[in-house]
Amino acid sequence: MANCPECEAAIDVGDDTEEGQRLECPDCGAQLEVVNTNPLELDVVSTGEEGEEEGTW
């Protein structure tokens, strides 16, 4: 279980989650990536908007 960094919704990602895996928050629709599995940590996937650099993935 982890929390969405955008809306803080609890997200059950399952036991077989791996770093780099991408998923969508069921509450706010944010695109998320697993950045750490122990402890489980999610980060918002960069879309290249709002001055962010593209091509970092």
Task: Identify whether the C-beta of residue 40 lies closer than 8 Å to the C-beta of residue 1.
Answer: yes
Contact by Cβ (8 Å): 44, 5: yes
**Would the pTM of this model clear 0.85, i.e. be above it?**
no
Give the structural domain span for 24: 2-44
- 11-48 pLDDT tens trace: 998 889 999 999 999 999 999 999 999 999 999 998 66
CA distances for 54 relative to 12, 38, 49, angstroms: 29, 28, 8
Asked if the structure places residue 55 within a domain, the reply is: no
Residue 53: inside a domain: no
Beta bridge partners of 2: 11
**In-domain check, residue 31:** yes
How many domains in the chain? Answer: 1
CATH of residue 11's domain is 2.20.28.160
